[in-house]
Amino acid sequence: MKGSHSLLCLFSVACALNWMLTAGNKIFHFGPCRVSMSLTEIRSGFTAIKANVQARDPIRTLSILSHPHSLHKVKSSDRCCITHHLFDFYVDKVFKHCKTEDSYVNRKISSIANSFLSVKKKLGQCHEQNKCICGDESNEKFEQILLNYEALNVTSAAIKSLGELDILLDWMEKSH
């Protein structure tokens, strides 16, 4: 009887530890792909630097992610593909060019980038398993985002894209 009590205690501790490690993580469905992530953690990091980043954006007349050539009206079947493209885009283009003289802001950007890298890997696995099919619409929407990005110099485009991160986060929450 004593052994079963110890086993029950050990199991309870393991369950509590697992819950604490995954608290805040949600499963997001991007078409057939399911990805666990803490959008709350990403949003918290972004909120802490949003005003600083957006103040660095001198161009108010152009948007990289917003309507009409954007994430609005993305079909459920295209969500995986566009999300995969966007996480690649943020990791490979945006975060690499978002350096400031403020070490606090840089740490927050690095933290967000690490979260994006983790999700990018998960979406990449799904993509490699041919679960994440790219249709014409998702490719066209992403091409428009790239055109908007490439219309600016690298630093301005990266800062603008980072400043618009809330558009992506809102879209992901609505898709959830």
Cα–Cα distance measured from residue 64 to residue 93, given in angstroms and rounded to the nearest whole number: 13
Cα–Cα distance measured from residue 155 to residue 43, given in angstroms and rounded to the nearest whole number: 22
Residue indicated by tokens 């690095």: 110
Q: Is residue 64 part of a domain?
A: yes
CATH number, domain of 94, equals: 1.20.1250.10
pTM of the entire predicted model:
0.81
pLDDT tens for the chain, 176 residues long, are 555 554 444 344 343 334 334 446 888 888 888 899 999 999 999 999 999 999 999 888 888 988 655 777 788 778 888 999 999 999 999 999 998 899 999 999 999 999 999 999 999 898 888 878 888 888 888 998 999 999 999 999 999 999 999 999 998 888 76
Q: Is residue 16 part of a domain?
A: no
Residue indicated by tokens 């993580």: 25
Q: Report CA torsion sign: 140, 82, 86, 65.
A: positive
Q: Is residue 10 part of a domain?
A: no
Domain span at 124: 25-175
| Amino acid occupying residue 17 | L
For residue 58, give every residue at least 6 positions away whose Cβ sits within 8 Å of its Cβ, in sequence order, or none.
156
Q: How far is CA 137 from CA 15, 142, 172, in A?
A: 43, 9, 18
User: How many domains, in total, are found in the chain?
Assistant: 1
User: What is the phi-psi region of residue 94: left when phi exceeds 0, alpha when psi lies from -120 to 50, beta otherwise?
Assistant: alpha
Q: Is residue 15 part of a domain?
A: no
Q: Is residue 154 part of a domain?
A: yes
Q: Check: CB of residue 79 under 8 Å from CB of residue 30.
A: yes
Q: Is residue 100 part of a domain?
A: yes
Q: Is residue 46 part of a domain?
A: yes
Strand (E) positions, 12-150? 26-30, 33-37
Strand (E) positions, the chain? 26-30, 33-37
Q: Is residue 13 part of a domain?
A: no
